[in-house]
Structure 1
C-alpha cells in the first residue's frame, strides 16, 4: 500500500496574489518513506498537498504516483489519503462508520466495511472504540480516527497537513509513536507538513525545506540540520551560527579559523554550525576552529542554557548545562569540531 511520489516543476499562482504559491518545485518521495515539508507560514506547503491530492490544479508541472501521471485522474481516484489539522469527522456517524465510510461509498457491504474498519482502529490503537460517537472523543483520539479513516481507503500516498499541531505536547508525542507504528504496519508513502523541526526529525526519513513556493533543500534529517544547502536553509532549521569568510582552493578561512569546503567554489562563503555542537571551555591548540570571547548573555532553554558569546567581531551561540556557573562577563574559549561545521556559498 505505497508507491513512489514524484513532483516535477510544479507551479501555481492564485488570482488574489502576484507571488506564486508554488514555483517550479520538484520533489521525489520513495515508496514507503516519510518526508516532512518544513517552511514558514505562506511558503506553499499546504498548496503543495492540495495539488498532489487533486484539490488544486497546477499551472505547470506534473504529479506522478507509482510512475503514473495523475493530472487527468479525479481526486477520489488518485490513491491519496489526506489528514488535516482538524479531524473533519462526521459527527452523525459512529467512530466505526467514520472509518468505514470510504468502503461504504465504494459499494462494499456494511458488514465487510465495518470488519475492515475494526482492523484500522486497531492499527491506531483504538480497538473497542467503534461504537462511540465523535463527540465522546478527545482531540488526540479524533486524530487517530481521522488517520484510520484515511488508511482504510488504502491510499498509495498519505498526506498529513499539520495533523498534530493542535494537540498538547504529551499527546503529540503519543501521536508520533502512533505514526511510527502505522508505518511499521502498513508502510504508506507519507508527505507530512509541519512547522515543528523536532516533529520532523522524530517521524520523517527526510526533510524538504520550502519557502516562497520553492524547494530550498531536500535530504536526510541529519543533513538538514548539519549540511544545509544554503544559509537560509540553515536558518529554517534553527541554526544560529553563521561565520562569513572566503573559500580559496577548497579551504574556508574566517575569523574562527580554517575549514575544508569541498565542492564550494572560490569566493565569499559562510561557515554554519549548530549551537549544540559548540564546545565551551574545552579547547586545545589542535582545534582548527576556535576563539576566545566574553559571555554577553545567558538564557534558559529547557533543561539547558543558551549563552551568547562575543569574540572580536563574531557573535557565537552555544548551549551549556543548566548547572554551569558561566555567566555574563565571563571570558571563555570555544571550539567547533570541523566535522560538524559546513560551508555554504555566499
Structure 2
C-alpha cells in the first residue's frame, strides 16, 4: 500500500501533571490500554503511528490491535486485526522516535471510530501522551487486547497515550491541519462526543459531500513563542513535526496567540502552576511567530489560513494590556495580507452587545473556552472555499 493520508492525529506531550490526573508519569507495566479515535476521512487500509517522542528508553509493545468501536471499552470482535511492525506482533519504538505499523487492509468510512488496544508487558517508563483527549482511555491489568466486551477495562483516564496518528490509503490526500491551543483541543466541549471544532469541521465537510481529512494538532495552553514542560513546545518549534510531518496535508489553519498574551498577565504566585514559565510576550513577538509559521508552511507548499484571536474577558487572561495586544494581533491577521485567507472567529463569536466578550450562548463558563454550541459556531464560521 502507498499514498498515505493522515485521518486522525494528536500532538505528543511530555509526561506531566497536566490539568487532570493521568498515567503519564507512572507509565505502564503489564497493562493493556484501549483508546478510541474518530477518523475524519475513510480509506481501504490503515496503519497506526505510535509516538515515544518523550520517552528515555525504548517502548516495548507486546501486541497491538485495531477494531471497530461499539461504545465504551467494547469493540466489534469480527473486525479485530492484529497490527505488526516488520511482520512481527511484538516490537519496540525507539526513545525519542515515532514508528508506523505495517499496513493492514481495513475499510473505513469518514467519521468511523476505531479502537486501538496496546499491551505493554514490560515497564514503559514515563509515557509520551496528549493531556486533554476529551475522550476516555481505558486500562486493564494483563493482556486484554483481543477482548470484545471490555469488561476488564475498569480504570479510565481523559488522556491519550503513545498515539501519534492513524493513516489511511485510498483518501484524497488534501488534508487540513488545525494548529492551535485549547480552543483547537476542545476544552469545554462534552467528552466522548467529538465536539471539538476540527471534528465538527470534518463532519460539515462530509455533509457537504466534500470529505477531507481534518487533523487536530492543538495543545491546551500552547504558545507561539514559549516552551513549557506541561503545555508543549512553542508552536514555531513543533510545527515541522505536528504539521509538516503529517502525510497528505495541503492546508493549515493557525489559531494561536491567546496564551502568549494571557499568561503574560498571570502572576507567578497564581494557583495555575501549569502555566509556568510566566514569560512576558508582546504583540510584536506573537506576530513574528505567526510570520515564522507562515514561512514554514509556504516552504512546504501548504495553503496557510490565519484565524483571529477570540476575547477572554473577564477571565484572568484579560486586562487592558492583553486586550491591546489582542487587538494589534487581530488587526495584523485581518489586514496584513500575509495569510492566504482569514477566518474571523473573533467577529463570529464575540457578543453583539458586549464587543470584548464571547457571546454568552457560546461560553463554556470560564469566558475563555467554548461549549458544544460555540465549537459548532466555529466550524460554521469557516468559508469552505478558504480551504
Give the TM-score normalised by structure 2.
0.27
Q: Compare the two structures and name the one with the higher strand fraction.
A: 1
TM-score, normalised with respect to structure 1: 0.29
Q: Which has the larger radius of gyration?
A: 1
Q: More helix per residue: 1 or 2?
A: 1
